[in-house]
Every structure is written in C-alpha cells, then in structure tokens.
C-alpha cells in the first residue's frame, strides 16, 4: 500500500455509539481513542489519555477553544505536538500539529472515548487568539497552556466562556486532515466502512474483549484512498454532491417510505442558506438519523398508515428511554418494517438513493443483549431545518469522502460487503 494511504481499524466499543480511531500523541506516543466526526473539524483529547505535562514535544500557543454540540461541550487550550496514526508497518506522522487539551467538559461528553477527531473542513475549527487578553494583564508569555481559566463544567458554563472568548480575534487553525494533506502525508480523501450505530452485545456475559472481537463492532478508516478497495463494497460507487464545504453539506431531494410516494425535503431557511448551509449533512459523529421536523412527522404518518403496531413500538421505546430504562421487546419483527429511502443530488443533477434498512434504524442488542434502540430522531431544538444523516444511514454503505474531486468535494457511496 502506498505511503500516503492507510487502512486503519476502528471500533464502536469505547464510545458505545460512534467509531473511534487510535491516535498516538506526543513524545510518549500515548494512545488515545478519538471519536471520528465528519460533522466537526476539531481535534481534542481528554487529560486522562494524554499526560501533557511530560510531553517535551508540546509547544504552548495563545489559542483557546470552547466548543458546544447539540448535546455536550468542552473548553481548553490549543497546543502543538506530534500526532501519529499507525497500523502494522505503516505510520503517518504529523509534527507540530494543533490539538486541544480538554480542561473543562460536561460529564460523559464523549462517553468512553478519549476525545474527538474531526474530519470536517477548516471553517468548523474556530479558536480565539488571547494574546491581547494576556497583554492587558501583563502576563508573559501569552500562553493558554498551562490553562489559566476556571470554567463551569456545564453547557451553560461553557457557553458563557465561549461568549467571553468572542471578545478576542477568531481564527481557524488547520484541521487535522487538512494538515495531513498539505504536508503530503495523505491524499485529500478518506473512506469509512462501518456496520453499526450502537455497540452490539451478542451475549449478556460479554466482556469488553468480546465486544472488540465482534465483527459488527469493527470498522475501517481508510486514509488517502477509497475507490481502490473494491473488497469492501458491491458494484459501482455513486456520487453525491457536497454543495458547501462547511460540513459535508448535501442536497436532500426527498424521502420515501417503502414503496410509497416520494416526500419532498424542505429547503433550509433562507438565513442559513445565505451562509452556505444546505438541508442535510452526512455526519459519522451522529449515532442517530435526525430528520427535519416535517420529514420526521411524515415518516411517523407513513409508518402508522402501514401498521399501527409500528408506532406502538416507537412510543414504547421512547417512553422507556425517557424513563432511563431499556426497551426489550419480544414481538419486534423487523421483517415487517419498510426500508426508508433518501434521495440526494449528484454533481450531474441526478438523484442518488441511499436506503436505511429496518435493522439499521432499529438497532438490536444495542448496549445490552436483547435491547432495541430506535435510531431516528426529530429535529433538534434551535437547530436549522437540516437533517443529520448519521450512522444508521451510513452503516449500510461504504462512504468515500473525496475532497480533491472539486472545490467542495463529493461523497461516493456503495453498499458494503459484510
């Protein structure tokens, strides 16, 4: 395999939902399992996985980040150090790479993962230069490491700190994958091969070792290549247009439940469209398929028209989940449920279909043996009219994120070989 490509095993086990890649950090080459996320471009690590105090490669900077997600958030300094990805005899080493050290975060922000590895574009990697802050206080050197701030470890506390940071100049450190490409370490593309959106527990006695050995909990991150790995997918790759390089923004044309009518996907609101957003993103960092509220309601209506028991199962799951309990049905027959099809715009004006199968939007043996988890969510509060096409849709597909195709790139998809 060429030096600028790598086939890196990944696993869903540490984070329970979402795939993690092992990355070695600093002079001690400590291995951190970072959550892969095409919906962001920040790379950040928790202190439990990285002994920054003993890393003689570490270089402080005047930069700080405070990041909030749909759920969760964190804050910390940006430092420079060596990062490497390794598998077998292959190694990709990035010297003096930017990485945030998480000093404040909401509890269980990444579940069992050690941080996050954003694979998105640079615009999402916003930081702030606090040189002026330190100058005003006669503090020299003007470094955010060691971390001089006390930030409340709640979403409101992190939001308040983020608001304070906005007083100071914003800038966009190069995203991890961008640095790999610019340093000629990797070609400007990567691919994902995944099979689940929540960890699969095949037996109630399974330990973490058993979970890691389960093929359904394993996947691949392929750096610098994609199309050549025909052993991972069926047929030919189809191309979905990336209409803006903020997220991996796509144009969702319509949704279809089973053999029913196509339901047109609403456009995103004008104020977001003017910022280059679109009505959908492809996001491996989301364990859920999050549908814009009109599409979600249409899905529920279509399901109830097909079989009222479908809605009863969904309601029972939601009630159990809200009560903090698992849902363990004995009569959930996924053979009776329809596929849900989504149609995306190609660069050539064609419609490209991706189908979400019942065993992907219902995850069985999820977190616990016998537990069922419904993986479709309604639109997030205060979120634009945008659908987040997460792992339930991606997990039946081999997805190549070809960033060198044109200015924005494209996503090429084909059914996976299991």
User: Is the Cβ–Cβ distance between 42 and 118 less than 8 Å?
Assistant: yes
Torsion (CA) 226, 232, 235, 240 in degrees, nearest 10? -40
Q: What is the mean pLDDT of residues 42-62?
A: 97
Task: Locate all alpha helices (DSSP H) within 73-175, ordered by sequence.
Answer: 131-136, 155-165
**pTM (2 decimals)?**
0.95
The pLDDT-based confidence of 316 (bands split at 50, 70, 90) is: very high
pLDDT, position 210: 98
Mean pLDDT value of segment 234-258: 95
Q: What is the pLDDT, as a whole number, of residue 42?
A: 93
Residue 292 to residue 338: CA distance in whole angstroms: 20
Structure-derived torsion over alpha carbons of residues 197, 203, 204, 207, reported in degrees to the nearest 10: -80
Residues contacting residue 365 through CB under 8 Å, at least 6 positions apart:
200, 201, 202, 371
pLDDT band at 69 (very low <50, low <70, confident <90, very high): confident
The predicted-structure confidence for 152-174, as pLDDT tens digits, reads as follows 988 789 999 999 999 999 999 98
C-alpha span between 178 and 281 (Å, rounded):
19
Residue 246 has a pLDDT of 78
Q: State residue 81's pLDDT score.
A: 98
Q: Is the pLDDT of residue 276 over 60?
A: no
Q: Which domains are present in the chain?
A: 6-186 (2.40.70.10), 232-415 (2.40.70.10)
Q: Is the pLDDT of residue 70 over 80?
A: no
Q: Report the pLDDT averaged over residues 261-268.
A: 96
pLDDT given for residue 247 in this prediction: 86
> Average pLDDT of 393-399?
96
Average pLDDT, stretch 315-326? 98
Phi, psi of 78 (to 5 degrees): -100, 130
Residues with Cβ < 8 Å from 5, sequence gap 6 or more?
A: 186, 187, 222, 223, 224, 225
Confidence check: pLDDT of 10 > 90: yes
pLDDT > 90: percent of the chain: 84
Task: Kindly report, residue by residue over 91-118, the tens digit of the pLDDT.
Answer: 999 999 999 999 998 877 788 899 999 9
């Amino acid at each position: 395999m060429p030096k600028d490509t790598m086939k890196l095993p990944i696993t869903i086990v540490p984070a329970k939902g979402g795939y993690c890649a092992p990355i070695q950090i600093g002079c001690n080459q400590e291995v951190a399992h970072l959550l892969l996320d095409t919906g962001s471009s920040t790379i950040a690590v928790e202190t439990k996985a990285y002994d920054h105090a003993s890393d003689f490669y570490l270089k402080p900077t005047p930069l700080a980040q405070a990041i909030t997600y749909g759920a969760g958030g964190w804050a910390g300094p940006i430092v420079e150090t060596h990062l490497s990805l390794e598998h077998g005899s292959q190694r990709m080493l990035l010297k003096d790479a930017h990485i945030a050290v998480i000093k404040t975060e909401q509890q269980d922000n990444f579940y069992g993962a050690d941080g996050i590895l954003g694979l998105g574009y640079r615009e999402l990697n916003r930081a702030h230069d606090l040189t002026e802050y330190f100058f005003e206080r006669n503090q020299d050197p003007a470094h955010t490491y060691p971390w001089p701030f006390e930030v409340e470890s709640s979403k409101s506390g992190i939001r308040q700190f983020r608001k304070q940071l906005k007083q100071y100049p914003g800038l966009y450190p190069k995203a991890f994958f961008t640095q790999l490409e610019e340093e000629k370490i990797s070609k400007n593309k990567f691919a994902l091969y995944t099979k689940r959106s929540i960890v699969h527990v095949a037996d109630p006695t399974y330990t973490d070792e058993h979970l890691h050995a389960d093929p359904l909990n394993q996947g691949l991150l392929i750096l610098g290549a994609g199309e050549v790995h025909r052993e991972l997918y069926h047929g030919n790759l189809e191309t979905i247009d990336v209409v803006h390089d903020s997220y991996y923004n796509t144009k969702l044309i319509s949704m279809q439940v089973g053999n029913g009518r196509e339901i047109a996907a609403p456009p995103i609101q004008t104020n977001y469209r003017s910022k280059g957003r679109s009505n959908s993103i492809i996001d491996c960092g989301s364990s859920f398929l999050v549908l814009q509220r009109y599409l979600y309601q249409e899905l529920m209506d279509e399901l109830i028209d097909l079989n009222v028991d479908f809605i009863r199962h969904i309601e029972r799951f939601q009630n159990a989940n809200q009560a903090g309990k698992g849902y363990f049905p004995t009569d959930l027959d996924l053979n009776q449920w329809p596929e849900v099809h989504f149609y995306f715009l190609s660069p050539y004006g064609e419609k490209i279909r991706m189908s979400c199968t019942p065993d992907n939007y219902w995850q069985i043996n999820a977190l616990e043996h016998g537990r069922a988890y419904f993986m479709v969510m309604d639109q997030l509060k205060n979120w634009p009219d945008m659908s987040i096409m997460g792992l339930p849709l991606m997990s039946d597909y081999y997805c190549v994120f070809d960033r060198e195709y044109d200015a924005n790139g494209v996503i090429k998809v084909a059914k996976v070989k299991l």
